[in-house]
Amino acid sequence: MGCAISNMSFEERDEAESYLLGLYSKIGEGCYALSRYDCVHALNTFKSLPASHANTPFVLSRTARALYESRNLTEVIPS
């Protein structure tokens, strides 16, 4: 039983690698902005992620933290 990566062509591997690096870069950018309390930039960065990644517990918790830190509690706690 071989690894799925070993069955991929160079182009497929390169494409997958680029996608992951871009994804991690955006998540890192959002976390860095949040660490500097730049909540607007952090929220915009997290909202720009694809839905399948934006709805993960990690990103949702960082989004909630950014909303909390920006004192925008109406978005954190729905009425």
Domains of the chain (ranges; CATH) run 9-76 (1.25.40.10)
pLDDT score for 76: 54
Between CA 73 and CA 79 the distance in angstroms is: 10
**Residue at 51: amino acid letter:** A
Write the CA distances from 69 to 8, 15, 41, 61, integer angstroms: 43, 36, 12, 12
C-alpha 10: how far from chain center: 26
Of the two residues 3 and 6, the one the predictor is more confident about is: 6
Q: How confident is the model at residue 77 (pLDDT cuts 50, 70, 90)?
A: low
